[in-house]
Amino acid sequence: MTTVLGRVVATERRPNTPHEFHFWTALDSPVGIGTIVRVEGATPVNGALPVAYGVVTEGFGYTDLDTPLHDVLGHDGQPGSAHQSPTRRTEIRLYTAAVLRHVPEEPLQPVGMGTVHLADDADVAAALRMDGYAFGENKTAIPVGLYRAGATSSPVHLDADFLLGPEAAHLNISGVSGLATKTSAVEWLLASIFAHFPEKKGRVAAVCFNVKGPDLCFLDQPATRLDDSDRALYETLGVPAEPFQNVHYYAPYTARGYALNTLRSNEALAHNVHPLTWGLREVLQFAEVLLNKDDIDAKADALIDFIKERVVDQPFSDSVLEHDHTVQSFGELEGWFRDLLHGMEAKNQESWRTHHVATIRKVRNRLTNISTRCRGLVTDDGSVSDLPFGEFEDRAVYVVDVANLEEDAQDLIFARIVSQLRERLESRTLGVDHVVVFVDELNKYAPSDGPDTYVRAMLLDIAERGRYLGLVLFAAQQFRSQVHRRVVGNCGTALFGRMDPDELATPGYATLSPATRTKLSTLEKGQLMVRHPHFTQPVFVRFPRPAVLSGREGVEKFPQALEQTLEGAVTRALRVLDPSVTLDWVKESIALAEEDEVIRARNKTQMAKPEDVKSYFRSQLKRRVAPKSAESRPRLAPLKSSPPDDPYSF
């Protein structure tokens, strides 16, 4: 039996309802906004005393004063004399609570008079309806944090069926930037999912798009600032306080092509950083991501389709062309265009196979331009280094670092990877059954206004249909109000960190009480407000610091590699495959090769991962005879000179 904390009160002006009630407490009670309480009714209903659970949403404090002026008069206008009053004015702490649950549920009546108690562990579980999924053999509970109030410290669980599907799915997190709450929360929740997602529900992996800074670049490195309270939280919630064990990084090359375009470039961390490069075939599937509506009118669209279906990856011949083509790369596509236009000019043709020359020139310009706009990601030679679709591992994190890329390239990467995930999940050939896709800055990719884009349409599709496939969107943004309503509306679970007051003033937050909004705008780091389908009201929880190295600390501990020479870049790339590769060996091997050729050889070696790295790398370079300096001819013995007096000599 817990101590009585307060008493329910109701007046005609402020009546209780089935969804809201009021109670008062002592001035020193531990009740605050977000506290969960239990009301024990005094009048039996259908033979049983009703119990109601509620969460405090508003608080009032006032005294017996009719007007503040009376207090001024009472102290002769001297605020400092208040302490001289021998008696403290009678003061009240009156709280309003939103009902979380009635027991029994029927008949649904206004909350009656009764005593108010601080909720204990069992009460919290009952109030949040966690008793249906957090206990027993078939439990599907994913710890999201610890609810704390007074002496109560209770784990709060999300239902995996409502977080990762199929009942509901997706998670959206909002909060001001700069506190690292959003990223930390997602890192913590992924760790919790990996620790608690029931095995019988299938295999689960995460694909995280690192869209800014080094936030997600050190997920496999242990945190340096995990204190005892954090470790206690991890222990209580049953999640190992360890970094992720299985993390793979993917990043395109820089425009020069020497090094990968990521802040995780320290050589000590290179073992699980892989290049992300695509060729013509991969890019052409998503050409519309990079081409705006002005680019792709019906005529251009028809030509692009023709190229995709009839030209790429197959022998192509035509009377207009000077020679046959097999287009597999952007370079070869450019050659095909050049040949075609040259042939048309030679034959003075204005159209070819119904495509006007102007359309052909336009499409040529747009498509070949892609390799320039997405240099580093798109290869001219068609070589592909991709995520291991089909071989995704259980409880693995795949981080795609697009932080330093142009917006076009980011969009292309997102569109293609998510499409691949979707296709693979549909055909059950991804390697896992559930994939969490984490996207930060969602307001940029799925804005509430602005033109329709391929990426936004794709996000809408995931949000609305992904849960059936196991494709789950975890998205974060600073301003939820600026994200497309259908995307956030389809997120079954929502987390809120500290919020911007201006954002809280938008209509989307009108259902929250002013006190809850105030609490949201002043939330400490490590605190979240959670909405979940099982919770009839949002609840506040505390979560531990992620057990991984933060981005800021990571870049200090593992400084970024300096801008490299070609030889240095190749050495570093090959040394991951074969530690015996040295800079001198690389210098000697590529001395006669062109830069493009060297990069292509390195890329092919990286993708092939051969046993004999050195031989394979050299085999990718064109054979050249090493120049030799001409040997000096053997000097012929001089003819004997004729005697000076020889009359026959010249």
Partner 1 sequence: MIANAADGTSAVGVTAVGVTAVGVADVLRALRAAPGAPAGGWRLETTGAPSLERMALEMEPPRLEAALPIEGDALSQRVLDAVPLVGFHAFLDGIQSTRVLQYLPGGVPLIFGTVAAVVRERHNRELHTWNGAPELSTRVYLPTSLTPADHLRTFDAAGIPVHDTLDGADASDGQHPQLLLTLARTAVQRERERLETSLAERWCATRDQSVYVDGGISGAGLAARSPHAVGVVKSHRTLYASGDGVGVITRLRAGQRTTAFEIRSARRTAVASWYLRLRDGGDPMFALVRIEVARDTFTAERADEVSRWVLAERTPLSLPDQRWHTMAYGIADCERYLRAIAP
CB of 169 to partner 1, least distance (A): 52
Binding residue for partner 1 (CB under 8 A) from 89, 310, 361, 465? 89
CB of 71 to partner 1, least distance (A): 7
Please, which residue, 40 or 318, has the CB nearer to partner 1?
40
Please, which residue, 71 or 120, has the CB nearer to partner 1?
71
d(CA 621, CA 331): 18
CB of 66 to partner 1, least distance (A): 4
Please, which residue, 90 or 319, has the CB nearer to partner 1?
90
d(CA 412, CA 563): 26
Task: Say if CB 99 and CB 53 are below 8 A apart.
Answer: yes
d(CA 634, CA 21): 112
Task: Say if CB 480 and CB 174 are below 8 A apart.
Answer: yes
Chain positions 152 to 191 lying near partner 1, rule: CB under 8 A, are none
CB of 86 to partner 1, least distance (A): 4
Six token digits for residue 355: 């495509």
Q: What's the start-to-end Cα distance of the chain, in Å?
A: 136
In sequence order, what are the residues at sequence separation of 6 or more whose Cβ sits closer than 8 angstroms to the Cβ of residue 119? 35, 36, 37, 38, 53, 127, 149, 152, 154
Task: Say if CB 424 and CB 389 are below 8 A apart.
Answer: yes
Binding residue for partner 1 (CB under 8 A) from 14, 49, 70, 322? 70
84 binds partner 1 (CB under 8 A): yes
Rg (Cα) of the chain, in Å, rounded?
A: 34
Cα 222 to Cα 210, 241, 264: the distances in Å are 19, 9, 15
Six token digits for residue 642: 């004729």
Half-sphere exposure of 534 (CA within 13 A, CB side): 24
CB of 486 to partner 1, least distance (A): 53
| Piece of 87-95, 123-131, 488-496, 632-640 that binds partner 1 (CB under 8 A) | 87-95
In the chain, the amino acid numbered 297 is: D
Please, which residue, 114 or 554, has the CB nearer to partner 1?
114
Please, which residue, 66 or 646, has the CB nearer to partner 1?
66
Please, which residue, 65 or 255, has the CB nearer to partner 1?
65
| Piece of 85-93, 177-185, 307-315, 610-618 that binds partner 1 (CB under 8 A) | 85-93
CB-count burial class (<10 Å; 0-12, 13-18, 19+) for 140: buried
Binding residue for partner 1 (CB under 8 A) from 18, 49, 61, 88? 88
| Piece of 79-87, 348-356, 526-534, 597-605 that binds partner 1 (CB under 8 A) | 79-87
CB of 13 to partner 1, least distance (A): 17
d(CA 55, CA 101): 10
CB of 24 to partner 1, least distance (A): 12
Q: Which of 117, 116, 99 is nearest to 108 (CA)?
A: 99
Report how many residues bind partner 1 under the rule CB under 8 A: 16
Please, which residue, 75 or 373, has the CB nearer to partner 1?
75
d(CA 430, CA 442): 25
Binding residue for partner 1 (CB under 8 A) from 75, 201, 486, 614? 75
Binding residue for partner 1 (CB under 8 A) from 44, 68, 77, 86? 86
CB of 83 to partner 1, least distance (A): 9
Residue 446 phi, psi dihedral angles, 5° rounding: -135, 65
Q: Looking at residue 381, what DSSP letter applies?
A: T
Please, which residue, 92 or 505, has the CB nearer to partner 1?
92
Binding residue for partner 1 (CB under 8 A) from 44, 46, 80, 90? 90
Binding residue for partner 1 (CB under 8 A) from 17, 43, 85, 292? 85
Task: Say if CB 237 and CB 467 are below 8 A apart.
Answer: no
In the chain, the amino acid numbered 402 is: V
Please, which residue, 113 or 195, has the CB nearer to partner 1?
113
Task: Say if CB 364 and CB 221 are below 8 A apart.
Answer: no
347 binds partner 1 (CB under 8 A): no
Please, which residue, 28 or 199, has the CB nearer to partner 1?
28
Chain positions 7 to 66 lying near partner 1, rule: CB under 8 A, are 64-66
Tallying the residues shown for the chain, one arrives at 650
- Which residues here bind partner 1, judged by CB under 8 A? 64-66, 70-71, 73-75, 81, 84-90
